[in-house]
C-alpha cells in the first residue's frame, strides 16, 4: 500500500513557469522519506498540490489509496501537513489553533480535546496551551504546526522544513518525537535543508530538481555510493604548505589545517602512515561536509 502515489504530475503557473515536469513518486506506508532538492526545484509546488493548496495542471495524486480528485474528503482526512511558513492565526492561543483544526476535520469536541492534549503533550507545548501563539519562539511555532498537523490522526504526515531556524537541542528533541510518530505507523515525508536531518531520520530518499525527480533510493545504499570523502585534519605543529602523500589529494587550508580527499576504497590508514613518514602529526580530524551534503552537491554539479 502506498501512502502517496503520484503519476505524471505537471504544474505550469499562469506566468508560464513550469515547476513540475511529469513527476512520478511512490512512498510506501510506514516509510520515513526524504524529498530533497535545491531552492526552486519544485518541492513546495509538489507538496502544495498534494495538500490541495496548489491546483495541478495535470497528473494524478493518491493519498493512502484515495484519489485526490475523486475522493478529496477521504484523501484530505488521511493527510497532515506542516508547511514551511507559519500559517496559523497568530492571535489565537496554542490550544485554540489545534482545537479549531480538529473542528475543521469534523472531530467531535470531546475527542478533539483529548487529541489536542495528546498532540500538544507530544510536542511539549501542553503547558503553553493558553499562550497566544504569536508569543511563541520560532521552535515552538514549528512544533505547534506539527501538533496541528497530527491532531486528526493522519496516516501520512508531510513536513516542509520542520526544523528550520530551530536550535540544535530542540532539533534533536523534535527528531526523537518524529521517530516516535513514525514508529506509531504514520508515514512521514520530509523536506529539509539540514541534510544531516534527512540522513539521520529517513530510510528512503528522492531528489527533485528543475521540476523533475530521480527514482527513490534506499538511504543506506545511496550513502554507500559516495566515492570520495573529505576530511579536515588539525595539525599538532604549523606547516607552510600542503605535503604530498601518494593516493590522496591534500590541500593547505592554513598553517594548522589540511583538507584531505580520501577515496572510499582507500581508507585513512595510508594517509596517516604517509603523514607520519613526513614528520607531520595529526591531532584530530573531522568530516569536511556531511556525507549526504557531499552527494547532494555532487548531484547538483552533475545536473
Partner 1 sequence: MIAGNLIALLTIFFKEIHRFMRIWPQTLLPPAITTALYFLIFGKLIGGRVGEVQGHTYMDYIVPGVILMSVISHSYSNVVASFYSTKFQRHIEELLVSPAPNWVILLGFVAGGVVRGLLVGCVVAGIASGFAGPPALNLGLCLGVALLTSVLFSLAGFINAVFAESFDDISLIPNFILTPLSYLGGVFYSVDMLPEFWRKVALGNPILYMINAFRFGWIGVSDVDIGMAFAMTGGAATLLACLSLWLLHKGVGIKN
Which residues would be at the binding site for partner 1 (CB under 8 A)?
13, 45, 48, 51-55, 72-74, 76-77, 79, 81, 83, 85-90, 100-101, 103-109, 148
**Pick 25 or 102: Cβ nearer partner 1:** 102
Q: Which is nearer to partner 1, 211 or 235 (CB)?
A: 211
Least separation in angstroms between residue 213's CB and partner 1 is: 19
Q: How far is the CB of 149 from partner 1 (least distance, A)?
A: 9
Q: How far apart are the first and last CA of the chain?
A: 32
Which of 84/210 has CB closer to partner 1?
A: 84
For partner 1, the closer of residues 48 and 139 by Cβ is: 48
27 phi and psi, to 5 degrees?
-125, 120
Nearest in space to 188 (alpha carbons), one of 217, 159, 161, 216: 159
| Nearest distance from C-beta of residue 79 to partner 1, angstroms | 7
Min CB(86)–partner 1 separation in Å: 8
Using the minimum distance from each CB to partner 1, give the nearer residue, 65 or 270: 65
How many C-beta atoms lie closer than 10 Å to residue 283's C-beta?
Answer: 10
In whole angstroms, how close is the CB of 88 to partner 1 at the nearest point? 5
- Closest contact distance (angstroms) between CB of 197 and partner 1 is 23
Q: Note whether 98 and 116 are within 8 A (CB).
A: yes
Closer to partner 1 by CB, 47 or 178: give it.
47
Closer by beta carbon to partner 1, 160 or else 197: 160
| Gyration radius of the chain over CA positions | 23
Least distance CB 108 / partner 1 (angstroms): 7
Amino acid at each position: 500500500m502506498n501512502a502517496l502515489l503520484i503519476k505524471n504530475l505537471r504544474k505550469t503557473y499562469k506566468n508560464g513557469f513550469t515547476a513540475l515536469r511529469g513527476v512520478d513518486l511512490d512512498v510506501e506506508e510506514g516509510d520515513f522519506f526524504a524529498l530533497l532538492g535545491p531552492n526552486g526545484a519544485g518541492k513546495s509546488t509538489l507538496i502544495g498540490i498534494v495538500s490541495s493548496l496548489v491546483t495541478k495542471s495535470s497528473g494524478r495524486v493518491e493519498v493512502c489509496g484515495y484519489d485526490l480528485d475523486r475522493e478529496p474528503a477521504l484523501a484530505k482526512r488521511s493527510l497532515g501537513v506542516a508547511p514551511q511558513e507559519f500559517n496559523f492565526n497568530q492571535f489565537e492561543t496554542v490550544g485554540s489553533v489545534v482545537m479549531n483544526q480538529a473542528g475543521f476535520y469534523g472531530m467531535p469536541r470531546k475527542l478533539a480535546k483529548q487529541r489536542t492534549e495528546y498532540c500538544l503533550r507530544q510536542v511539549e507545548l501542553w503547558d503553553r496551551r493558553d499562550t497566544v501563539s504569536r508569543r511563541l519562539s520560532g521552535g515552538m511555532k514549528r512544533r505547534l504546526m506539527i501538533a496541528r498537523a497530527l491532531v486528526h490522526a493522519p496516516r501520512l504526515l508531510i513536513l516542509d522544513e520542520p526544523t528550520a531556524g530551530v536550535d540544535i537541542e530542540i532539533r534533536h528533541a523534535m527528531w526523537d518525537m518524529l521517530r516516535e510518530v513514525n514508529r506509531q505507523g504514520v508515514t512521514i515525508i520530509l523536506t529539509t535543508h539540514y541534510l544531516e536531518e534527512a540522513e539521520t531520520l529517513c530510510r528512503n530518499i528522492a531528489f527533485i530538481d528543475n521540476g523533475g525527480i530521480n527514482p527513490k533510493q534506499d538511504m543506506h545504499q545511496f550513502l554507500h555510493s559516495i566515492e570520495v570523502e573529505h576530511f579536515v585534519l588539525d595539525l599538532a605543529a604549523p606547516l607552510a604548505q600542503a605535503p604530498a602523500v601518494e593516493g590522496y589529494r591534500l590541500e593547505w587550508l592554513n598553517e594548522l589545517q589540511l583538507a584531505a580527499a580520501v577515496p572510499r576504497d582507500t581508507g585513512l590508514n595510508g594517509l596517516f602512515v604517509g603523514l607520519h613518514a613526513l614528520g607531520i602529526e595529526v591531532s584530530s580530524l573531522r568530516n569536511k561536509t556531511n556525507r549526504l551534503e557531499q552527494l547532494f552537491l555532487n548531484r547538483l554539479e552533475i545536473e
